[in-house]
Amino acid sequence: MKTNPRNPEVPQSEEAFLAGYDSSRFPRPSVAIDLVLMTVEDGELRVLLLQRQEHPARGKWAMPGGFVGIDESVDGAARRVLKEKVRLSGIFVEQLYTFGEPDRDPRTRVISVAYFALVTAHTLRAALKSQAKEQLTLATIHTPWAGERGGAVEVRDGTGTGLQLAFDHAEILGVAVKRLRGRLKYSPIAYQLLPDEFTLRMLQTVHEAILSRELNKDAFRRRVLGLGEVKATGRLESDVDHRPAELYRHCPVTNE
């Protein structure tokens, strides 16, 4: 057991410790946020990555991140980074997990609160088009594991070439995919990845991309319609070379 720099404080209660806490006495870790921004495009689950221009991990890919200001909430820092680096706001953002190993960043002690965000591919592409200054990409996520197991994942660019992730970002992304899969069945999270009006086939494609497996079409339709979370609009999709399907809307069901 290594020496604890706060050993002299051990006999104190938390309260005494806090009351006598001298903020300059012990070094504090930096606190950052990392943003796992995912979308479904062309039937694939994808994540926004930036290629690092500087050492360390130069040339590797990382998810956007930033430090938490002393006067802003951690959630607020996540929304700020989303706005500053991706030019997006108002989309679904949820805290994922906090990564706090001392050596996860080679330069200094950084504790990172990871967030995952979801947005339609259309909205994301529009936001990215307005600022092509940074080297960024929408990479496809491949999970070597099935179900909701979790673990590190692989990412590939449009040509199928594998991309190297910086730091512990492969692990972070794995946790994000695991969380996303776990929430899919019991929360209306998939609608974050669809436009306001969508067909049941589009909804199923989103589910299949997230779960990385095919679903039974009829059971899927029955379950979705039975949940009462979608409402038929009466309108039909257009610009398809086959029979157009009916368009639905997500109607959040009141939690009685």
Partner DNA sequence: ACAGCATATATGCATATCGCATCTATGTCA
Partner DNA sequence: TGACATAGATGCGATATGCATATATGCTGT
CA 132 to the chain's CA centroid: 21
Is 191 strand, coil or helix? helix
Q: Among 42, 72, 101, 246, which residue sits at the site for DNA (rule: CB under 7 A)? A: 246
Residue 129 burial (CB count, 10 A): 9
Binder of its own copies out of 36, 37, 91, 113 (CB under 8 A): 113
Least spacing, CB of residue 218 vs DNA, in Å: 4
Reply yes or no on whether 134 is catalytic.
yes
DSSP conformation letters of 91-111: SEEEEEEEE--TTSSSSS-EE
Instruction: Find residue 47's DSSP bridge partners.
Output: 38, 139
Q: How far is the CB of 135 from its own copies (least distance, A)?
A: 9
Question: Which one among 134, 196, 214, 246 touches its own copies, defined by CB under 8 A?
Answer: 134
- Cα–Cα distance between 180 and 168 in angstroms, integer? 19
CB of 245 to DNA, least distance (A): 3
User: By CB under 8 A, what part of segment 7-26 binds its own copies?
Assistant: 10, 13-19, 21, 23, 26
Catalytic residue among 84, 134, 214, 246: 134
Site string for its own copies, 222-251 (x = CB under 8 A): ------------------------------
Tokens linked to 94: 């949820």
Closest CB 249 distance from its own copies, rounded Å: 25
Distance CA 220, CA 239 (A): 24
Q: How far apart are CA 83 and CA 93, in angstroms?
A: 12
User: 180 to 239, contacts with DNA by CB under 7 A?
Assistant: 199-201, 216-223, 226, 236, 238
Catalytic residues: 134
